[in-house]
Amino acid sequence: MSCRKMHKSSLKVPCIINFRVRGASLHGAIRPFWMTCFVFIFAVLVFIFAEVLVVHAGEAGAGDDDAPRPGVENPPNESAVPREPAMITGVSWEREDTTVKVMVGTSRRIDYSAKVLSKTDAQPFRIVLDCDGALPGTLQPVIPVGEGVLERIRIGIMSQSPPKTRIVLDLSSPADYTVTDLPSGPGICISMKKGIRIESVWWERVEGGSVLKIGGTSLSSYRVTRLRAPERIVIDVPGASLAEHVPSSIEGNGAGVRRVRLGQFQTSPAVARVVVDLEDDVGAGIPFKISSDGENGSIVLLFSEAFPLRGRKVIVDPGHGGSDPGCISHSGLYEKHLTMSVARYLVAKLRTAGAEVVLTRNGDETVDAYKRVDLANRAGGDIYVSLHMNSFRMSQKSGVEVYYYSGVTQAKRLAQSIHKRLLEDTGFADSGIRVARFVVLKGTSMPSVVCEMGYLSNPDNERFLKNEAFHAVLAGAVYKGICDYFQDGDGKTRD
C-alpha cells in the first residue's frame, strides 16, 4: 500500500515541477513584450493629453479679437484710437416764398438736437442747433441774413472735448420750423417760416363799451362760436400756439364779461383757444363785434356797454290775475301768483339790460285779454311776452311749450328762442312750439308769444314751481331768449 502511495506521489511531483518550469520560462519570455506595450500606451496618452491642451488654447484664442494669430497680421483696436471730430464744412441759406432754409454741411453724419428759445430782454427769438462730435473749423462766426424771419446765423464751439458746436438762428419773430437731414449728403437742413402765436391779451376802455385785444403774430384767421349753459364766446385760432408768458386767464370787463381764459386746445395741428366767459344774465345778450387787425397782428373783440336791450320796449304780460286765478294745483298754488312772481324777476333783468318795460298788470288785478292787447298796441312795444303755467286732466303731462300766431315770422323766431332757453335752464320736458289763435297773439301789432312754463297738474313740475328761487330761473330763461331774439338778426325776419 505504501509502495503505491509513493508511486502516486512520484508521479505528481514531476508534473508540478514541469508546470513551474514552463511557467518560469514563459514569464521570462513575455516580460519584454508587456514592457513595450506599457511604454507605447503611455506615449499615446501623453500625445492625446497634449492635443487636448492645444485645442483648448485655440478655442480660447478664437473668441478674442486681440489674441495673436500665427501668420495673421493683427489689426489695431479702433475703440482704443480717438476718433477725429467731424467737420462742419459749410453753412448756407436760401429763401423760398415765406420759407427760409439753412443748410449745414458736415464731413460725415453726426448726432444733433434743436430747440426754440423765447425772446428775452437781451436775446431775440432763436432756434438753437447743437451738433455733437463736430467742430466748425474756420467758418465765419456770424453770418448776416435779414430774410424772412431769419436775422442772422451765429456759430460757436461749445466744447472741444468732446467736440460740440452750437449754431444759433436769430429770428425777428416766432417761427414754425422743421429739422431734417440734407438729401444731397451728410448734413442738416432747418426750414422755418413765420409762426402764428398769441403773445398777449388785455382790455381797453372805449367810448360806449370795452375792447378785448388778443395780440400776437399773423392772427388773421379765427373761428368764433357762441355757446350756452354756461354763456361763453369761444375763439379758435388755427395753427397758433401760446407764448410761454401768456397768462391762462384774465379778469372780465365788469360789464357782462366775467373772465377770459386762454389755452392750447390742440397741438397737432396747433389750435389756440380763447374763451370769453359771460355773466349768465347781462352777458347773455351783450352784443359784440370781432375783427382782425392784420397790420398789428391782433384779434379785436368790441363789446358794447352792458345794455344789450337799450332802446328796446318789451311788453310783459303776467297771465290771469284778480278774479281770474288761472290754474290751481292740487296743493293750492294759484297760477296768477306764480306768473306775477316770475314777471317781477323778468322785469328787473330787462331793465338792467337797458330795456323799457311795460306791464299789463302791476298787482293782483283783473285785466281781460282785449285790454292787454290794447295796452300793448298803444305802448308800441317791440315784442309781447305773456307768462303762464299749464294744467291737464292727466297728471303725467308735463313740460314747457310756447305759442305764437302763424302769420308772423318774427313771432315764430321769438318763440323758438325762448323755448330753447326754457328747455336748457329748467330741464323740463319738451312739449313743443305750437301755433295758436289766442287773442293776445292775434290782436297785438308786434311779435307776440305765450309761454307755458310747466304744468301745475304734474307733481314733479309743481315741486319746482312752488319754489320762488325757481321763478328766477324761469325769468332768466325768458330773458336770455329775448336777448337771443334781438341779437340774432336784430329782430328782423330771416326769410
**Angstrom distance (rounded) from CA 42 to CA 49:** 11
**Angstrom distance (rounded) from CA 188 to CA 169:** 14
* Helix %, strand %, coil % of the chain (to 5): 30, 40, 30
Which residue, among 237, 233, 262, 232, has the nearest Cα to 249 in the 3D structure?
A: 262
**Angstrom distance (rounded) from CA 366 to CA 436:** 23
User: Up-side HSE of residue 97: CA atoms within 13 Å toward CB?
Assistant: 1
Beta bridge partners, 250, equal 260
Backbone φ and ψ for 304, nearest 5 degrees, come out as -70, 170
Q: DSSP state, 267?
A: E
Set 231, 335, 401, 452: catalytic member: 452
Taking the C-alpha atoms of 447, 450, 454 and 458 in order, what is their torsion angle to the nearest 10 degrees?
Answer: -150
**Angstrom distance (rounded) from CA 153 to CA 170:** 6
Residue 452 annotated in active site? yes
Secondary structure of residue 60 in the 3-state scheme = helix
Which residue, among 191, 189, 172, has the nearest Cα to 91 in the 3D structure?
A: 189
Q: Are strands 99-106 and 111-117 parallel, antiparallel or unpaired?
A: unpaired
Nine-digit cell string for 313: 320796449
Look up cell 456770424; give the residue: 142
Backbone φ and ψ for 381, nearest 5 degrees, come out as -70, 160
Nine-digit cell string for 261: 381764459
Q: With contact defined as beta carbons under 8 Å apart, do 329 and 396 qualify?
A: no
Nine-digit cell string for 293: 387787425
Catalytic residue numbers, as ranges: 452
